[in-house]
Structure 1
Amino acid sequence: MNLVILGAASSFYCWGNRLKLKPVALSHNLQKKADLLNQQYKPGLIKSVKDDELGSLYAAAPQYHTLFILVSLDSQFDKNTDIKASFEIFVVKSFPGIKNISVKLINPGGLAITIYNVPIAELDRYTERLHKSIFIACQSHQKNATRKSIKLGACNYRLGADQKKVYQLAQSALALSQKSVLIHRHRLALSNNQDVLFCSEQVINNIKKNKFILSFQPVFDLISGDIIEHEALIRVRHDTYGLLAAQYFINQVESKGDALILDKAVLSQILTLVMAEKSPLTVSINIHPNNWLSDEFWDWLAMKMDNLNLCSQLQFEMSEVYFCKNRERLIKTFNIIKKHRSQIIIDNVKSSENIAMLIDYEEVRGLKLSYELVHLINEKTHNQKRIKEIVNAGKLLNLPVYAVGVETQKELRILAKLGVTGAQGFYFSKLLQEFTQAVFH
């Protein structure tokens, strides 16, 4: 199976005034009504995550879990009411930043709901919000509905988890909430040792066979609406789980040899693509941590770039933690980057504490905020203060600040007011393949 790269021209992302953006319509992959008579587990009740249901594709993003919830309802509904459709509407409206939500009707008194790509720190918040949403939906049909008549049992899990174990834990959580007079929702986590880990050998073998695709996600200027740069994102074919984003396998690529294979494959494709482009582009690249200090990798990349006359600019994203810990050991790497007119973006920035030290590193040209700071920034005044401090510190060094993982217009408005230069994320619709579209055949 070969990777075919097709040129694709598209410019529909230029949107002008930042305060007049129309929210991107959510694409809800809602499943067909379940043909279940009771709450007995059946295969398929808990869906495996598909490639279009994978979470944030940013290297700086935190780990995401999927949240599976069983709901018990003690409410009366009109026989002509489409219960499933009614709850779908209320649930989807309650989570405008979530791309994929599944709602199944188990029986007139029960629902099975799956919310994909939930940040770990927000699991309890999402469960609480879901209970409130279902309560409001019940009130719209039955005015005397009470919160205690709605019981939730939730289980959060990672990609690859055993579906039956997930269901059993959700059922146990539901039983706990049903036994309590005061607690109406309960959540149990599928522990890490119960998760199915991906085989890094299969991932690397598929990379060797070119069974991967590259997409290019744009970073938009919040004033002009122009595309500032593109972040290259890899997804690797997995025999069981389809296309996997880097966050789902990168931690299992541990050996130096495998890390070298991964980044050489990605960089080779990127260099081929940018050489085919007539217009200059800035392409931002995440490389494996093992390769930042790898002489073999940088000698290889330097030779490749020496042989190419690039009109495009490459920039490499390095986490703030890694930079602070290894900056003195990275001198050779920095010199190679400067020699080839490339640059570095410091990402996963969480505070302004370390920004002043960047004054001695001219190859550093920008800062990317951590996803934790950006997520629900419109509701978190403390994070707004921290972002403003980062923006002000960046201005002293003429370093623009970018936001990742932007999901809503409310987040975007606040970020613009705080002085953030650019942003990327699911708010801006699907991944932009500005100059390529990769397909399998």
Structure 2
Amino acid sequence: MMFRRVVYWVSARCLRWFYREHRVVGRERVPTQGPVLLVGNHPNDLPDVIGGLFVTPRHPRYIATVSVTTNPIARAMYEAMAVIPVARVRDARKMKAEGIDLAAINQAANDTVLAALAAGDVVAVFPEGGVHDVPQIGRLRTGVAKMVLGFVYSGAENDVVIVPFGHQYEAPRRWGSDLISVVGTPWSARAWYDAQPAEERGLAALTHAVREALLAVTRNSASWEEGVTRDELIAAAAAGQAPSDPLSVAPALVATAADLARQAHGDGPGPMAVRARTAAHQLARAVEAAGGIGTSAGDHARLLHALDVTKAAAPVPTIVLWMGLPAAAIGWALNGPILPLVYALAKKNARSRPDLVAGCMVPGLYLVLVWWVVVALLAAVVLATVGWSPWLALPLMLSLPRFGDLAMGWREWFKAWRLVRRVHQWSTPQRQALRDAAAVILQCVAV
């Protein structure tokens, strides 16, 4: 359990230090008790796994490939996180040569999943079966449907709730970009099964239902940089509908935003979808002009605050921003030198695009730990030279991660403050045009 807490702590640092902001929408939708099957998209390797840890207040037991457990550290992490290992068909030849029975591993995984659900656990899986390096949902494997139907057929007394979640990246492999994880509407596997005609209760039908649930929480645009994004629609609509929390949205809001996004990219988009897309692009350009990031949900919420559309998402006061500068400067001075090296080495050694971020987070973590030790040793030498106890360097080493958090947080505060400040300098006609665009989005999503 202690190691699990360490994994969560490290995972939060990995996300926080690579992405400018990771926001979770709808975390409260995951049932607080009873068996849950979390199904998510998988466009970006390790960040998807780490991000999935934070979409639920409960600990999810991932179903993951057994191939990485040859690494002792990975094996220890699997055990601490109660991961359920499965074998991939593409690894069959290699596993056979090593004397590993693929069928036995997968049968054991299936039995473990059924036992976990019967015990009321949360099981998480990526039904695409591997990393799908595009913003659209790929073809789903039928393994998830097989497990769910196996649970239903088993005669278990309790139900299993299927909860979709989607990671929506601004730019998955760009340092300092944004990530929003959207939790969709939960639905009962048993209720779905009972509602289907007898001939439509098979693997294909349930796999299709899971796919439709994932489409409602993922971007599914032509590229990460193109098209109306759900980030924009959610941020705009939520800012108007939930003044106390601009990113706490109702399930229906996410579904409506998803429908608008699909209409806007379909063959015959309706007039409302066209208006929403045009208005969202106008807001995106405004955020870019103000120095923000165009697909950031947080930036759009802040923009709406600056336009007086909502009182939520206010930036930190100027005095707090500048009071935090010394701590942020210390954080950058102590941690900043190693981060570009981590990114450069990960980029050099990446064999595929998703490997880049994973390389920053796993081998990169080792480099950061070595860096912290080096900084502490240098501090100990300096302290001993001036006649102080070198053991005073130990508290410094333990505080290095916290200073790093302060540096990253201050960067976000500064960008938000700069965005709002620049918007306030725009002319009255510009501000009014953007208020009108925000009103269009709020009207479209509220319908």
TM > 0.5: no
Higher RCO structure (Cα 8 Å, ≥6 apart): 1
Structure-1-length-normalised TM-score:
0.27
Q: Please state which structure has a larger fraction of its residues in helix.
A: 2
Q: Please state which structure has a larger fraction of its residues in strand.
A: 1
